[in-house]
A and B are shown apart, each in its own frame.
Chain A
Amino acid sequence: MTKIELTVNSAKHTREVEDRTLLVDLLRDHLGLTGTHIGCDTSQCGCCTVHVNGRAIKSCTMLAVQARGAQIVTIEGMAKDGRLHPVQQAFTDCHGLQCGFCTPGMIMAVAALLNDNPHPSDAEIYHGLEGNLCRCTGYINIIKAVKQSAGVLRNG
C-alpha cells in the first residue's frame, strides 16, 4: 500500500492504494468519479480518457501511484458554474452520441485535441481520435461536434 496525494478537478485528495491499483479504479472506486468509464480490458477503447498534467491519457493504463502529485481533470471537472464545457455542449447539440458509453472519453480526447490544434482538418480530427472507439459507430456526428466546439473555443 502506498499513500498518494493528487489533485482531481481542482480538489486535493489523499488516498492509500495498493501499488497495482489503476488510476481509473482510484477515480471510480476510491473517489466515486464514475463518469470515467471502463470499456475494455486491453487499453484500446479510450472510454477512460482523462487529462493528467494537461495531456489526454488512458487511465486504465496508468497506475494510481504514477499519478502521485499530478493534476487530473475528469469529465466531472469539465462543466463550470453550471454551464457545460463547449465540447460537451457540442456533443449535445450535434447528437454526438448514441448509447453514450464512449462519450466521457471522447469529450476528454476532443478537448485535448483542440488544445493542441485549435483548427484541425478532417484528417487531423480522425487521427486525433484514433484512441477512442464508438461501438455505436456514431462517428459522423462526433466529427460534427468536434468542428462545432473548435469554432466555439476559437471564438473564446
Chain B
Amino acid sequence: MFEISYLKAKSLSDAAALIGAHPEAKLLAGGMTLIPTLKQRLARPSHLVDIGGLPELSGIELKAGRLAIGAAAKHYEVAASAVVKKAIPALAYLASRIGDPQVRNRGTLGGSVANNDPAADYPSAVLALNATIVTTKREIAAEDFLQGMFATALEEGEIIVRVLFNVPKRAAYEKFPHPASGYAMAGVFVAETAAGVRVAVTGAAPGVFRWNDAETVLTKNMKPAALDGLAVDPNDMNEDIHATRAYRANLVKVMAKRAVQKLLATK
C-alpha cells in the first residue's frame, strides 16, 4: 500500500468537510473492496476518511411501508435483523450470501451500493425494490442512481446516508456464486409489488439491469414455467474465463426460475 493518511470522521458533517478539504481523499467504511484495492496499489488516495462508525449512518427501521437501512449497516447486521427478516426476508437472505462471514462482518450496505460492482448482490435488490438512495445532498431513485459498471449518480463529496427499500408483497433472490469469490456470476432478484413484478439481474452483464420481458410475463403469470419461452440476449452478457456469454445468459434464466420458485414458497 502507498503511504496514506487516515482521518476518522466525528460526524457526517465532519466527514463532508474532510472529503471537501482533501480532493484526493476516499471514503472508507467496511473497506472490503477499498483495502484490497489499496493493497494491490491500484489506487492512490491521499487520505482515507473513515465513516464506518458514524451513528448517523446506522439503524434499521420500518416506517411508512419502507425499510430504511443506514449506509454503515454491515451485511451481517442486515442478515440477522429481525426487522429485515420480517419486512423483506429476501433482502436478509441476500445479505447472508455476500462474500464470506469475515466480509459480512465488515462490509456495509452503503459501500456496496456506492461501489456498484457489476457482480455485487445489493444493487439487484436496490433496483428490483425501486429503492431510494438518501445522500447528504438529495434523494436519488434507484434507476437514476445505478449507472452501469462501478458508476453511480454520486457527485464528489456526496455521501450515502441510508437506503429506503419499498416493502414488496413477496420477493426472492437467487444467485449462482463464483465458487472462489462468492460474487454473483448471475444473481436475480424478483419482487412482486403493487405496481407489478420487477426483476433485476446482477453479475451477468456489465451492470445490473431489469429484465423487462420477464417482468411482463411474471406480472401475468408468476410461475417458473412462464419464463420458458424467454431468453436474455447473450450479446449483452459478460464473457470471461469463468463463463461464456451463452452460459451466463442461461444462468440468468435458471436463477430467475429458481427465484420465482422460491418466491412462490414464501408466506
The chain A residues found within 8 Å of chain B, CB to CB, are: 2, 18-20, 22, 41-44, 46, 49, 55-58, 60-63, 65-66, 68, 109, 112-113, 128, 130-132
Contact = CB atoms under 8 A, between A and B. Distances in A.
In the complex, which range does the number of interface residues on chain B fall in?
20 to 34
Interface string B35-74: 1101110000000101010000000000000000000000
Contacts of B36: 42-43, 61
Contacts of B52: 66
B101 A131 contact: yes
A1 to B, nearest CB: 10
A112 B106 CA distance: 14
A2 B3 CA distance: 13
A20 B101 contact: no
A27 to B, nearest CB: 15
Interface of B: 1-6, 8, 28, 31-32, 35-36, 38-40, 48, 50, 52, 76, 99-103, 105-106, 180-182
Contact of A41 (B39, B48, B102, B180): B39
A131 B103 CA distance: 8
A66 B48 CA distance: 11
Given A63-B48, A109-B101, 8 more contacts: A2-B6, A42-B40, A61-B32, A66-B28, A109-B102, A113-B101, A131-B102, A132-B100
**Most B C-beta atoms less than 10 A away, residue of A19, A41, A46, A68:** A19
A22 B35 CA distance: 9
**Most B C-beta atoms less than 10 A away, residue of A49, A66, A132:** A66
Contact of B101 (A19, A65, A128): A128
B72 to A, nearest CB: 13
Given A2-B6, A20-B1, A63-B31, A46 B102 contact: yes
B6 A19 contact: yes
B31 A62 contact: yes
Given A57-B105, A128-B101, A43 B6 contact: no
The 6 closest A-B pairs by CB, nearest first: A131-B100, A19-B6, A55-B105, A130-B100, A131-B102, A20-B1
Contacts of B28: 66
B73 to A, nearest CB: 14
Nearest to B80: A116
A42 B52 CA distance: 22
Contact of B100 (A18, A46, A55, A68): A46
A2 to B, nearest CB: 7
Nearest to B38: A20
A57 B32 CA distance: 11
9 contacts: A43-B32, A55-B105, A58-B102, A61-B102, A62-B106, A65-B8, A68-B8, A112-B101, A130-B182
Given A61-B36, A131-B101, A44 B181 contact: yes
A61 B101 CA distance: 13
Nearest to B36: A43
A117 B52 CA distance: 26
Given A43-B36, A46-B100, A131-B101, A66 B4 contact: no
